[in-house]
Structure 1
Amino acid sequence: MFTCTEQFCSECRTRWFSHDDPTGNGDYEVLSDLLNIYPREICPQPIAIEVQTISGEPASNTSDTFLNYDATYGFACVNADQRGKSCEDYKVRFTCPKEFCQVSEQCRTQWLNSDDPSEEGDVESILQLMKTFPGQVCKNPIGIEAMTTRGISAHYTGDTYLSYDVAFGFACINEKQKSKQCEDYQVILTCPSDFCQGCRTRWFDEDDPTDKGDYETLLQLQMLYPTEVCTQPVAIEAMTLSGVPAHRTGDVFQVYDATQGFACVNTGGKRCQDYKVRFTCPLTFCTG
């Protein structure tokens, strides 16, 4: 009998992504960049990566030389490393832990901020968040995103992180930075679906994407349905009217958290899907 690695056993794979092309220095399909653009479609710690040309040929069958080709960094093909030619145009997809695909309706918390960098640094640990926001944080999150309180993604600040994963949470230490202090960060967690199954509202679809986009904001829904939506939800779920979870559509969301609600903006000639949302509220909202 053989014991297989999770990579062999997991069938949880993302769609194919092609964010770059080789017209500049080369073709860079970097995990950190893809996570920033598609944070809900890629797990933060993939266990495998596959690479093909846009036409479907496996990267290993080409004559290109690769600078990077692993699940930790992603993929990089540099034109200068090729023999008198540019790299092919590539696409990548990742294999994720099976738990990432078992979330049929993505359950996301509000943005959480329990610390600031005024002392040793900014530490937003899962344990501390659970203490600071009781009942609003799941014990075993399956995804985490971090951004500054000014709205800049953690991937673009230039800070170095001691931790940025679902096991511990997020930590930026001042002394690890180059002669500067860490930014002030906040995090949002993706939780297992059962975290959102306590006190839930019905689904709401107040807007559609025919104008600027689809805006299902908490403030608007509270004004329209004051007795049906709690003032401080602990989680939010969004899906298309046809039942596709928002994180599987490929749309980019301007807002998707329990504090503000949901917003998808039509851009670049592409119209958003038509979405509906529901909220998870404190238990007192359902029992009071």
Structure 2
Amino acid sequence: MFQLITIFILAGLLTESTQQTCTQDVNIRCWTEWFDRDDPSGTGDWETLMNLRDELPGKICPTPLAIEVVTTTGVSMAEAGEVIAAADTTTGFVCKIEDQPDKACLDYRVRFGCHPPFCDNPICWTEWFDRDNPTGTGDWESLDILKNQYPGVICEKPLYVEAVTVDTLTPALATGQNIFLFNPTSGFVCRNSDQANTMCLDYKVRFGCQC
């Protein structure tokens, strides 16, 4: 599961809105800076919360709500396709060389999502977008395509992304489906080939921007 989800994300508000409004809600999360304390030498790449807190005191909130992991070149865990030992808000991130068929891990970086008041910034949410249906290869609500289709509507560098099903407003990560791409810099992608029943649900997305 860890390999199929880029984790990340905002639970956000589930109320429908067609305008950008500034919202400070208890569900809003902000992200820490990116951390890359270890290189994939020795036994692997260890970006654990314990080590990060020891080396960078005060940089991570006491109880992180989300974790996002990409390689130092920006490749998601799903795209990298490696066996990941841990990628969660309790342990942090671990890639063990012994778990890899080629006995080598890529170099990863991590960041964590926190509640206010650790980082207290008002967030403006875009309208909801549902440009694709889960036909063909899946449901593609990627940021670059949405920006082309809706010029000037989405900010240049979104800070958050939220995805829910169109019919029941169920958060994407609560559906049990394998999500291929889910982060604020790239958007959302669910691939039919990753699902046990070979079909994604129909999702819609919105983006959180600094007001």
**Partner of residue 227, structure 1:** 152
Say which SS state the counterpart of residue 253 (structure 1) adopts.
coil
Contact 2:6 2:76 in 1 (8 A): no
Amino acid at match of 2:203: Y
**Partner of residue 276, structure 1:** 204
Amino acid at match of 2:180: Q
Give unpaired runs (5+ residues) of structure 1. Answer: 1-33, 41-101, 132-136, 175-179
Rounded Cα–Cα distance in structure 2 between residues aligned with 1:272 and 1:181: 32
Amino acid at match of 2:110: V
Rounded Cα–Cα distance in structure 1 between residues aligned with 2:61 and 2:130: 26
Distance 1:226 1:155, change over 3 A: closer
Matched, 1:246 2:169: no
Amino acid at match of 2:183: D
Distance 1:261 1:110, change over 3 A: farther
Distance 1:108 1:184, change over 3 A: farther
Give unpaired runs (5+ residues) of structure 2. Answer: 15-26, 98-102
Query: Greater relative contact order: 1 or 2 (C-alpha under 8 angstroms, separation 6 or more)?
Result: 2
Deviation (angstroms), 1:142: 2.2
Amino acid at match of 1:219: D
Which of residues 141, 149, 153 in structure 1 aligns to 2:64?
141
Distance 1:148 1:38, change over 3 A: closer
TM-score (norm 2): 0.59
Amino acid at match of 1:209: P
Rounded Cα–Cα distance in structure 1 between residues aligned with 2:204 and 2:121: 16
Deviation (angstroms), 1:265: 1.2
Deviation (angstroms), 1:250: 2.1
Contact 2:12 2:162 in 1 (8 A): no
Please give the root-mean-square deviation of Cα atoms over the aligned residues, in Å: 4.6
Rounded Cα–Cα distance in structure 1 between residues aligned with 2:121 and 2:199: 28
Rounded Cα–Cα distance in structure 2 between residues aligned with 1:172 and 1:35: 11
**Partner of residue 117, structure 1:** 39
Contact 2:70 2:109 in 1 (8 A): yes
Matched, 1:237 2:155: no
Hey, which of these two has a bigger chunk of helix by percent?
Answer: 1
How many residue pairs align between the two structures?
Answer: 176
